[in-house]
Amino acid sequence: MTTAIAWPRKTRELHNHHFDSTMWNGFAFRDDDIVIGTYAKSGTTWTQQIVGQLLSGGAPDFDVATASPWVDLRLPPREEKLPAIEAQTHRRFLKTHLPVDALVYSSRAKYIYIGRDGRDVVWSLHNHHANANALWYQALNDTPGRVGPPIEPPRGTIREYFLDWLTQDGHPFWPFWENVRSWWAIRHLPNLLMLHFDDLKADLPGQARRIAAFLGIDVAEDRWPAILEHCSFDWMKAHAAKAAPLGGVFWDGGGATFINKGTNGRWRDVLAPADCTAYETLARRELGEACARWLAGGAGGDAGLAA
């Protein structure tokens, strides 16, 4: 007897300076759609680049920023964004930063979720936030339809930024724990692949082949060298205009600022032992032991979470 799958159902909307989760309501899914989900700065653009390279066979001029839109970002307005997505003729691969319960989840699509230790997330998030220019603030804060307070420039040291993010659960962006917890809870679904930033760093060729197999993309062996070269950090940094949103116009330094370092562990020399204990204790409480250990190190290890 086959057990029916209990597909996730949307139960709420999320709105803030970035989000308009209603963008997904009534979205016309196709059978081969791909949705890439993360909390911000967890390897989203990297995974989009990998998928874009798999779909294009390693084309060096493939513009992933244009090809793979962030659906729940509240700009451009739905009247512009949704028709543009509908007009795409390639296999669509879309981006979301929503937790599952604020997302319209389709049984017809394939989903990829990428996790990353929250401390590494914040270090990348701080670079993203601290280097944002006036155009970024204008777009997010002044575009009509914003719900809630505006986002403001970061203040204080990076440690203070981290502690504020931790104690206020994702401030000034959006909640962290519910995002990770919601995707972990549905990891058993047949159309969801769970990835981890650390595993991509440790074995990009193996993880890229895993993604290709999950998505049903047949890649000729002679195309793999180009695909992997174009998914390396150095190549993406050098060609950041094709990876960063709008070529990086929202950040001082352009796309090369958006594609920052791609490294982990920078927090180790800054956070006090008590800071890490507070983070790890909260991770276990919010996620449970198994998920907390996965988030700290992926399948390749859990060295980032103290025993």
Task: Say whether pLDDT at 297 is over 50.
Answer: yes
The mean pLDDT value for 278-293 works out to 98
Distance (Å) of CA 87 to CA 24, 80, 84, 204, 232:
16, 11, 5, 32, 30
Domains of the chain: which residue ranges? 21-300
- How remote is the C-alpha of 176 from its chain's centroid? 12
Q: How confident is the model at residue 250 (pLDDT cuts 50, 70, 90)?
A: confident
| pLDDT attached to residue 227 | 98
* Arithmetic mean of pLDDT, 17-25: 97
For residue 240, what pLDDT band results from cuts at 50, 70 and 90? confident
pLDDT at residue 244, rounded to an integer: 66
What is the per-residue pLDDT for 299? Answer: 82
Residue-averaged pLDDT of the chain = 92
In total, the chain counts a number of residues equal to 307
The better pLDDT of the pair 91, 303 is held by 91
State the Cα–Cα distance between residues 175 and 3, nearest whole angstrom: 33
Comparison of pLDDT for 288 and 243, the residue scoring more: 288
| Average pLDDT score over residue span 212-235 | 96
Given a cut of 80, whether residue 260 has pLDDT beyond it is no
What is the reported pLDDT for 154? 96
Range in 82-96, 98-112, 239-253, 262-276 the model is least confident about: 239-253
Mean pLDDT on 285-304: 84
pLDDT band at 261 (very low <50, low <70, confident <90, very high): low
Give the model's pLDDT for residue 307.
Answer: 45
Q: CA nearest 110: which of 207, 23, 217, 13?
A: 217
- Mean pLDDT calculated for residue range 93-109: 98
Which whole number is the average pLDDT over 156-173? 97
Q: What percent of the chain has pLDDT over 90?
A: 84
Cβ contact 136:153 at 8 Å: no
User: CATH homologous superfamily for 21-300?
Assistant: P-loop containing nucleotide triphosphate hydrolases (3.40.50.300)
Q: Please, what is the end-to-end C-alpha distance for the chain in angstroms?
A: 42
With 90 as the cut, is the pLDDT of residue 263 above it?
A: no
Interval 124-158: pLDDT, tens: 999 999 999 999 999 999 999 999 999 999 999 99
pLDDT for the residue 5: 93
**pLDDT above 50: residue 302:** no
Question: What mean pLDDT do residues 292-302 have?
Answer: 81
pLDDT greater than 90 at residue 294: yes
pTM of the predicted structure, to 2 decimals: 0.93
Average of pLDDT values for 259-286? 90
- Taking the alpha carbons of 146, 148, 152, 157 in that order, is the dihedral positive or negative? negative
Per cent of the chain over pLDDT 70 is 92
**pLDDT surpasses 90 at 249:** no
Residue 251 in this model has a pLDDT that exceeds 90: no
More confident residue, 163 or 238: 163
Exposed e or buried b for every residue in 48-77, given b needs 16+ CB within 10 A?
bbbbbbbbbebeeebebbebbbbbbbbbee
By CB atoms closer than 10 A (0-12, 13-18, 19+), residue 34 is buried
